[in-house]
């Protein structure tokens, strides 16, 4: 590992966000295992190293196991009250909670819901058909996934506007550079989400249904989950189940609009859609980084680590590694090699990947069918949202 005087830009630096690969490409070529002394973490940009860390069963996710000054403590805001949800748990707890979740939330349940997901998407798109322009994020990419995940969890339709507001506030959850106001909003969103699921879980305990939350409560009664695990999993699914897919739809549509020849190919052949969604995920990943805590045994490319260091795997950099993909910065929906790290990998591989893929395929299929003249609105350029870890737009105006 090299100790370098070069500093990575702040994750929310606007120039870096405009083109992160201008930083990652030279870094990968010269210092692929980079000691970011400013933030006290190790930054990985090669696909093979990212794959190695994510698949290493000894490397840890729980930031409480970090050294006192490690970056993971800052990014996950570890204090004496910190309790990990599934995303930051290690085995054996992680395995136990994850298996309770995937028992009911999996490819089969998503396949069974596809018709309903399409109905929900159509209902949101119907009022837009008469418009000449609209903000894709505000009017479709944000309400669509939140409506789907709320229905999947069996929670109130009347709370969708609240869910969206809380989720926007929660987008700063992994931003160690959040402003004081963003931190106030974050705490507000977290508290509301917590209170909401506390109420719903109590109600559902008394009146059990066939929904996802009821099944978690049943697992709790059988001693397979604790109450904290039920509540924190509901909160995680609601949040992770919407912002990320909003960003996939926004980033993916922008890529198509900026590459009209790819858009034409997709319009001409709908069989290309699943591959196009994988390329959207690879090309402009909605989640850009995930961090781990090194164990005594952790080695990357043969390089040993002290226990407790933060290892940041840059998923977007790995996706654009020329050792993984030829011509990695090209957007090519017919790319044969579909490999990417946008859903992570190993034990914490995204539980929602089947749902995100289904939603994106349905979204793009309907957008392209309904709007044959879809284009960027030249009078209102896309506005990137300022966040760390989550990459997407706060507005993306299109003309139809
Ligand atoms: C395009 C959409 C999505 C992207 C890019 C994405 C990305 C990711 C990534 C990178 C991870 C791994 C994080 C880590 O290793 O630290 C992850 C985990 C997770 N995702 Fe997603 N996600 C998406 C959609 C969803 C959806 C729709 C849901 C739920 C409905 C969801 C729920 C989760 C959960 C619960 C985990 C934690 C899994 C574990 O710790 O075992 N995600 N996601």
Q: How do residues 143-165 score in pLDDT, each as one tens digit?
A: 999 999 999 998 978 899 999 99
- Close Cβ partners of 183 (under 8 Å, ≥ 6 residues apart): 172
> For 200-251, what is each residue's pLDDT tens digit?
999 999 998 888 999 999 999 999 999 999 999 999 999 998 999 999 999 9
**Considering only CA atoms, which residue is closest to atom 43 of ligand 1?**
350
The encoded tokens of residue 196 equal: 């909401």
Residue 373 CA, distance from chain mean position: 29
**Considering only CA atoms, which residue is closest to atom 16 of ligand 1?**
290
Confidence of residue 303 (pLDDT cuts 50, 70, 90): confident
Q: Give CA–CA dist 88/67, Å, rounded.
A: 16
Q: Which residue has the higher pLDDT, 124 or 175?
A: 124
Are residues 217 and 230 in contact, defined by beta-carbon separation less than 8 angstroms?
yes
Q: Which helix (H) or strand (E) holds 273?
A: helix 273-283
Q: What is the average pLDDT value for the chain, to the nearest integer?
A: 94
Percent of the chain with pLDDT over 70: 98
Q: How many CA atoms lie within 13 A of 309 on its CB side?
A: 24
**Phi, psi dihedrals of residue 311, rounded to the nearest 5°:** -115, 115
> For 242-257, what is each residue's pLDDT tens digit?
999 999 999 999 999 9
Confidence of residue 5 (pLDDT cuts 50, 70, 90): very low
**Considering only CA atoms, which residue is closest to atom 17 of ligand 1?**
350
- Tell me, in angstroms, the distance from the centre of ligand 1 to residue 4's CA: 32
**Considering only CA atoms, which residue is closest to atom 27 of ligand 1?**
241
Residue 4 has pLDDT above 80, yes or no: no
Ligand 1 atom closest to residue 344's alpha carbon, by position in its atom list: 10
**Phi, psi dihedrals of residue 376, rounded to the nearest 5°:** -70, 140
The encoded tokens of residue 33 equal: 């295992």
Q: Give CA–CA dist 297/310, Å, rounded.
A: 14
Are residues 233 and 101 in contact, defined by beta-carbon separation less than 8 angstroms?
yes
C-alpha distances in angstroms, 138 versus 164, 235, 250, 256, 397?
10, 22, 10, 19, 9
> For 351-392, what is each residue's pLDDT tens digit?
999 999 999 999 999 999 999 999 999 999 999 998 999 999
Q: Which helix (H) or strand (E) holds 33?
A: strand 33-36
> For 316-336, what is each residue's pLDDT tens digit?
999 999 999 999 999 999 999
Q: What is the CATH number of the domain that holds 109?
A: 1.10.630.10
- Tell me, in angstroms, the distance from the centre of ligand 1 to residue 332's CA: 24
**Considering only CA atoms, which residue is closest to atom 32 of ligand 1?**
352
Choosing from 281, 343, 355, 389 the residue with most ligand 1 atoms within 8 A of its CB, the one to mutate for a pocket test is 343
- Tell me, in angstroms, the distance from the centre of ligand 1 to residue 135's CA: 25
Confidence of residue 8 (pLDDT cuts 50, 70, 90): confident
Encode 107-126: b = buried (16+ Cβ within 10 Å), e = exposed. eeebeebeeebbebbeebbe
C-alpha distances in angstroms, 121 versus 107, 152, 276, 286, 329?
19, 14, 19, 20, 31
Single pTM value for the model = 0.96
Which residue spans within 280-399 are E strands per DSSP?
Answer: 289-293, 299-300, 303-304, 310-314, 375-376, 383-384, 393-395, 397-399
Residues of the domain holding 116: 2-399
Ligand 1 atom closest to residue 359's alpha carbon, by position in its atom list: 27
Residue 188 has pLDDT above 90, yes or no: yes
Q: Give CA–CA dist 40/42, Å, rounded.
A: 7
Domain tally, the chain? 1
Tell me whether residue 13 is exposed, middle or buried, using C-beta atoms within 10 angstroms of its C-beta: 0 to 12, 13 to 18, 19 or more: middle
Confidence of residue 59 (pLDDT cuts 50, 70, 90): very high
> For 9-42, what is each residue's pLDDT tens digit?
888 999 999 999 999 999 999 999 999 998 999 9
């Amino acid at each position: 590992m090299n100790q370098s005087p070069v500093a990575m830009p702040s994750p929310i630096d606007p120039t870096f966000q405009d083109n992160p690969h201008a930083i990652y490409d030279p870094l990968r070529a010269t210092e692929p295992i980079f000691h970011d002394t400013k933030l006290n973490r190790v930054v990985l940009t090669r696909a093979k190293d990212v794959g190695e860390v994510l698949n290493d069963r000894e490397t840890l996710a729980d930031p409480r196991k970090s050294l006192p000054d490690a970056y993971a403590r800052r990014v996950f805001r570890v204090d004496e009250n910190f309790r990990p949800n599934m995303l930051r748990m290690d085995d054996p707890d992680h395995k136990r909670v994850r298996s309770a979740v995937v028992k009911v939330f999996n490819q089969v349940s998503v396949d069974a819901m596809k018709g309903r997901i399409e109905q929900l998407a159509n209902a949101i798109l119907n009022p837009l058909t008469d418009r000449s322009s609209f903000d894709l994020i505000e009017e479709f990419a944000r309400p669509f996934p939140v409506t789907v995940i709320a229905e999947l969890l069996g929670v109130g339709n009347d709370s969708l506007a609240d869910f969206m507001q809380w989720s926007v506030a929660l987008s700063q959850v992994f931003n160690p550079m959040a402003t004081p106001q963003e931190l106030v909003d974050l705490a507000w969103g977290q508290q509301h989400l917590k209170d909401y699921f506390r109420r719903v879980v109590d109600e559902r305990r008394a009146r059990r249904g066939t929904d996802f939350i009821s099944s978690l409560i049943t697992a709790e009664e059988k001693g397979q989950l604790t109450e904290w695990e039920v509540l924190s999993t509901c909160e995680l699914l609601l949040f992770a189940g919407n912002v990320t897919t909003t960003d996939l739809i926004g980033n993916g549509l922008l890529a198509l609009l900026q590459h009209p020849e790819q858009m034409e190919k997709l319009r001409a052949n709908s069989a290309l859609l699943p591959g196009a969604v994988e390329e959207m995920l690879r090309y402009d990943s909605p989640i850009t980084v995930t961090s781990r805590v090194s164990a005594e045994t952790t080695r990357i490319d043969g390089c040993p680590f002290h226990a407790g260091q933060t290892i940041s795997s840059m998923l977007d950099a790995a996706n654009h590694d020329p050792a993984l993909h030829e011509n990695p910065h090209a957007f090519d929906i017919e790319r044969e090699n579909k490999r990417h790290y946008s859903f992570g990998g190993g034990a914490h591989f995204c539980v929602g990947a089947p749902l995100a893929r289904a939603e994106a395929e349905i979204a793009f299929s309907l957008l392209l069918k309904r709007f044959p003249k879809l284009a960027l609105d030249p009078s209102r350029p896309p506005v990137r949202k300022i966040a760390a870890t989550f990459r997407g737009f706060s507005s993306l105006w299109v003309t139809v």
